[in-house]
Amino acid sequence: MTADIADVPLHAMLKDVVALHDVLRRKQDVRITVQCPTDLRMRTDDQLLKEVLSNLLVNACKYTPIGGIVRVSAQEHGGTIVIEVSDTGRGIPVHDQERISQKFFRASNVTGGDQEGSVLGLHMCYALMRLLGGTIAFTSREGLGTTFTLTFPHCTS
């Protein structure tokens, strides 16, 4: 697989990705906010980045309790674009954090029950970020939420 790099209006793209998940957001009764300068643009593969963000948004909505908040933000610092997806959800237990990017891994505080999904989403996000030339990292506190940070060096147009 190769990336099809083009100039992407980031604010519009983030709004589109959030809109794609409106049904899930309403079902979970979660509020999603987007903070991004309206003129921010970056060079990336639009579809691959949408795939990464979609996976992160689905997880954020799925694991955030009723009335919670999911925030999507993007900003530019000296040619580097930083996108964050943060939630007020369950968080990832410390003892699970080192394994979060592994295939078929699901954190111990969300196993069982009615959890759907292939359990490949985060593994795929890590692989796609490598393909896009960026990095993915996260911080999490169990019971308080998680923030995934996507960093794209030298991607401004």
Q: Mind giving me the DSSP string for the chain? A: -----EEEEHHHHHHHHHHHTHHHHHHHT-EEEEE--TT-EEEE-HHHHHHHHHHHHHHHHHTSPTT-EEEEEEEEETTEEEEEEEESS----GGGGGGTTSTT---TTS-STT--S-S-HHHHHHHHHHHTT-EEEEEEETTTEEEEEEEETT-B-
Mind listing the pLDDT tens digit of every residue in the chain (157 residues)?
788 999 999 999 999 999 999 998 888 899 999 999 999 999 999 999 999 999 999 989 988 999 999 999 999 998 899 999 999 998 877 767 565 655 545 544 455 444 544 445 678 898 999 999 999 999 999 889 999 999 999 777 6
Write down the pLDDT at residue 157. Answer: 62
Residue 116: give its domain's CATH number.
3.30.565.10
Number of domains making up the chain: 1
Residue 97: predicted pLDDT = 57
- Residue 45 resides in a domain: yes
31 domain residue, yes or no: yes
Q: Would 91 be classed as within a structural domain?
A: yes
Give a yes or no: residue 1 inside a domain: no
Report if residue 12 sits inside a domain.
yes
